Structure 1
């Protein structure tokens, strides 16, 4: 496994995962609307589906922020993303974030506004809130 980690960059794999998994979720929601013979807006009126849709949309932005942030900001962002993936009960995502966190350097970022990190962290906190609400809705 260590040989595989040296050969492939886990950050790139994580970005791909955060781009492909929402597409799969959106496909699932679309097929659900076809199966239930209801419109997409009617499906999103149901809380679990709305939370799943919102979480999928946020995953797209996670990939973007991972690419934009560098150095210490990226490491902090990945730490927060690890919490988000664990709250979402996303074991595969959490393991990819963990491997990416191990791989990132803690060098200082070059001329990066703090607003990038703050906005990215806000999106992750929103995702944590949505995941928590989805879990509460399930129980």
Structure 2
């Protein structure tokens, strides 16, 4: 693959995009903190559901920070996320493995949302219903969802 066919981006535009990405990442972190505070101050949310919501918010904020600050993939190239642009924390990371981690982190949102759904579903189901799940059924359902989520990144890249 030869990069000589691509015109390099204008440095001022590249700097503007970089500042915009970092600003949006910072705002995302602030919104995550505000969301955690709102959940913490709410008296109508159960403790278990609040922990699940904390997990969603913190994991999503961590994914955003990884995407923009550590991995910093180049989205404007013909091959999505194969090139690293100019990461703020330049950890020696192979772009292929960075991409695998990125897709895996994105896929791991599914089990978190599934846990929230199962919890809310079990709250409204009557105790004598056949749809009421025990703890082992919760763990089994989440394990079934989590296992493929851990392999998506590698399978997608290969």
The TM-score, its normalising length taken from structure 2, stands at: 0.43
- Normalising to structure 1: TM-score of the pair? 0.47
